[in-house]
Structure 1
Amino acid sequence: MVAVVLVATGTQQALAHTQLYNVAVGKTVYKKGQYIQTVVGPPLSPVADFTKNEIRCRNTDGTSPGTPYLCVVAGTTFSVNWHHHDDSPGDDMVSLSHRGPCMIYLGKVTPNPDDIKWFKIYHLGFNKDTNKWCSDVARDNHGKVDIVIPKDLENGKYLLRTDLLALHDAAVNMGAQFYPNCVQIHIIGSNKKFLTPPPDYVKFPGAYQPNDKGILYNIRTDKGLTYEIPGPAVYPPVQKP
């Protein structure tokens, strides 16, 4: 009987969590895991310590040998899709209790992943008018969030880093649950200089600190009313799709 209870509990915990399942460019949807870096450990588990390298791409160093790059034209609409296990109608992305913001970053690939300069191209926190977090909005859209790849990027290889933050346990130190994943993309179709004006660059790890207002946060008492999304400002030229 004890074994049965343990298995059931483990299943419930896994069902509460999420992963970046697949991506799409325009109307072209790619298969599960294609162009997404492999993760270390259970694919649905959050990063245990967001001050360590795992916060970068949910793996140890931000590299994934053998993962191909997806060609994306600058200015294109790009979709990310979070799910538990599959994209069936009954798969609702993440538990209703795991509410919080979404953040998406880009970083030009460097020989040493520690040297990547990341900049944020999208975030969504809490909407007071609808009483919904980004996690709610994405769940309502079957795990899908649409962004636009900035038009004024230098052509080349980038990591597109998605980050879903669950705040249900964030009232205690290191209780926030991050679910990052990295997509390998090759941006083409732009002859412009790289990022003018320059964005707020950050490093991973380093961009998030345990005492940040958007990370050490009591979602049950504040209910999103004064929430501040962690990380830098969104890069200005990005337009909503």
Structure 2
Amino acid sequence: MHFSQVKILLVAAGAVHLTNAHTTFTNFFVDRVDQGDGTAVHMSNNIQQATYPLPNVTTPDMACGVNGETGVARIASVNAGSNLTFEYRAVPDVSTVSRGVSIDLNHKGPYAIYVKKVTDSSASHNAAGDGWFKIMEDGYDSVAGKWCTEKLIPNDGHLSATVPSDLAPGYSLVRAELLALHQADKTPPDPQFYVGCA
């Protein structure tokens, strides 16, 4: 844990929750239709650390996050040309905080969306390794003077991309990668990767 990280105090249903102002990908939208909390999303099963950045970028976790190599029972149908939206939250469980709290404002940086063709999207151990290709990226907007993470906050934690019109039919994983750079200039450098797949 970085001692320079901002903490957010959340009060819900009489309980007090202290959380890091990190983020995690929780909901997947296809053509603006929410597939449901966690539906089709490869995500960490450790609720206390689900919003933490990747602890080690040299492991298979870099593909789809902690526990991201574990398959999911439900997959989402997506057509070439569909709009995909990825919802990020500072707290994975929406019942403990209202939607829209996505990431602390000082976590500035770019994001990218990748796709990988696989034999079965619901299978385990098919995320890490070769085959990923980028379909979307957003970094610093010099006209607006903002990083894409700063646009994420007023957009209720939503980032979107369009499926390439020439994507071949079949199973695929789609990977969302958010990179916070507020610790990247420290010694040692510590860029914070937040990744997840659907």
Alignment counterpart, residue 17 of structure 1, candidates 18, 22, 34: 22
Q: Does 1:182 align with 2:197?
A: yes
1:98 and 2:112 are equivalent in the alignment = no
Query: SS of the residue aligned with 2:102?
Result: coil
Q: Give the secondary structure class of the aligned counterpart of 1:56.
A: helix
Aligned partner letter, 2:114: Y
How many Å apart are 1:9 and its aligned residue?
A: 6.0
**Count of residues in Structure 1 that have an aligned counterpart in Structure 2:** 175
Question: Could you tell me which residue of structure 1 aligns to residue 53 of structure 2?
Answer: 46
Aligned counterparts, 1:63-78, within 5 A: 63-78=69-84
CA deviation profile, 1:34-88 (whole Å, cap 9, x unmatched): 100132542111101212211111135x432343211101111111111112396
Q: Would the aligned equivalents of 2:24 and 2:90 in 1 still touch at CA under 8 Å? A: yes
How far residue 174 of structure 1 moved from its aligned partner, in angstroms, is 4.2
1:25-44 to 2 correspondence within 5 Å?
25-39=30-44, 41=46, 42-44=49-51
Answer yes or no: is the 8 Å Cα contact 1:37–1:67 preserved in 2.
no
AA aligned opposite 1:50: V
**Structure 1 pair 100/132, CA: closer, same or farther in 2 (3 Å)?**
same
CA contact (8 A) 1:16 1:95 kept: yes
TM-score, with structure 1 as normaliser = 0.65
Structure with higher strand content:
2
* Inter-partner Cα distance in structure 1 for 2:50 and 2:197: 13
- Structure 1 CA distance for aligned equivalents of residues 136 and 177 of structure 2: 10
Q: Which moved more, 1:104-113 or 1:31-40?
A: 104-113
Query: How much has 1:92 moved relative to structure 2?
Result: 2.3
Q: Which runs of 5+ in 1 are unaligned?
A: 1-7, 184-241
Code of the aligned partner of 1:15: N
Structure 2 residue aligned with 1:58: 65
TM-score (norm 2): 0.78
Question: What's the % identity of the aligned pairs?
Answer: 28
**Change in CA separation of 1:151 and 1:131 when aligned onto 2, cut-off 3 Å:** same
Separation in 1 of the partners of 2:60 and 2:179? 17
Cα separation, partners in 2 of 1:48 and 1:139, compared to 1, 3 Å: same
Q: Structure 1 residues 156, 89: closer, same or farther in 2, change over 3 A?
A: same
- The residue that corresponds to 1:160 in the other structure is 174
- Rg (Cα) greater in structure: 1
- CA RMSD between the two structures: 2.5
Looking at structure 2, the residues matched to 140 and 157 of structure 1 have their Cα atoms a distance apart, in angstroms, of: 33
1:174-203 Cα shifts (integer Å, max 9, x gaps): 4000000010xxxxxxxxxxxxxxxxxxxx
| Higher share of residues assigned helix | 1
The CA distance in 1 between the partners of 2:85 and 2:99, in whole Å, is 20
Using a 3 Å threshold, how does the CA distance of structure 1 residues 145 and 151 change in structure 2: closer, same or farther? same
Note the C-alpha offset of 1:13.
7.6
